[in-house]
Structure 1
Amino acid sequence: MAEPNKALPFPAFLQVVERAPLISIDLIVQNSAGDVLLGWRTNQPACDHWFVPGGRVQKNETLDAAFLRLTKAELGVALARSSAQWLGVYEHFYDSNAGRVEGFGTHYVVLAYTLQLDESDMALPLGEQHSQYRWASRAEIVQDAAVHLHSRAYFE
C-alpha cells in the first residue's frame, strides 16, 4: 500500500470538503459499567457539542492503519481494528466546515466501531479536538440535547 499523503494545505483541504464526502471512523467507547465516552468538541463541524471520538481516514491509508492512528490520537492508546466490533456505516451531514467558511457544509461517510475500554486504559488528549470528556449512559445520551444528533443516533 502506498504511503499516506502528507497533510493537504488547509485551503486545498477545504476545497475537498466543499466538493466531496470525507471518510471517517467513529469510536463508540464503552467502559465496564456500560457508559459511553464523549468529548466536548472544540472545532467544526459539531463544535460545542458532546461527540464520540473519531477522525478522518487519510488518502492511501488502510482502514487498519487509520484505526491504529486514530485510537492513538483520540484515546491515547493504539488499538487494532480487530479489537473492536463493527457497528455499521453512517452518513453525517453538517451545515458547517472546519474552516468556518460560509456557503458549504461537510459530508462524512462514517465507519462506526464499538470498543470496550476503561478510563485507566486510556490517556485522553485535551486541546486539539476536545476540551473535556465525560462518561454517559445510553439513556443520558439520547436525552441530552448537548450531545450532537449524529452521536445520539448510535443509541436511538
Structure 2
Amino acid sequence: MLSERDIETDVPVPMHGRVDQVFLAGGWLVVVDTKRRAAARVYLKDVIQLSVYAAILSRQSQTVLGSNWPVASEGYVRLVTPQGVTYTAVRLLPSSVIISLWNRYWILKGQGAKARPKIPAAGVCKACVKRTGCPVGQRL
C-alpha cells in the first residue's frame, strides 16, 4: 500500500514520519520498518516508531490511501543483519501511550533537558562517525 512515504497528522497531537512500508493483510494495515543491525534485536524505540506510524495511519488512512482501513495492533521490524533478513512481530503501543510520550517529550524539552547518552561500548563510540557532535564521544 505504501513504501517510503511521508505521513502526518495534527490530531490528537502533531506527529509525522516516513513509513518504510505499509501492507494490507486481511483487511488490516500492517506497518513494517527496516533496521540494519549487527544483531537481530528490536528496541523499545523501534516499537515506539512503528506505533507512531500506526497512530498516524489510524487517523489518516482515508486521506493517504483513499479508504478508511483499520490498522493492525501488531507491526513488524524487518531486521537486516550479516546473518540475513528476519521479520520480528511487535505489539504496538496504544495511541494513549504515544500521546503521553509526546507530552513528556515536550515537557522535558521545555525544561531544557538534554539527552545524556551512555557509552554502549568504548570501541563503538571510538569508531562512531557522530562522535564529534556527541557529548559522550567528545570525552573519549
TM-score over 0.5 (shorter chain): no
Give the TM-score normalised by the residue count of structure 2: 0.25
Q: Which has the larger radius of gyration?
A: 2
Highest relative contact order (Cα 8 Å, sep 6+), 1 or 2?
1
Give the TM-score normalised by the residue count of structure 1: 0.23
Name whichever structure is richer in helix by fraction. 2
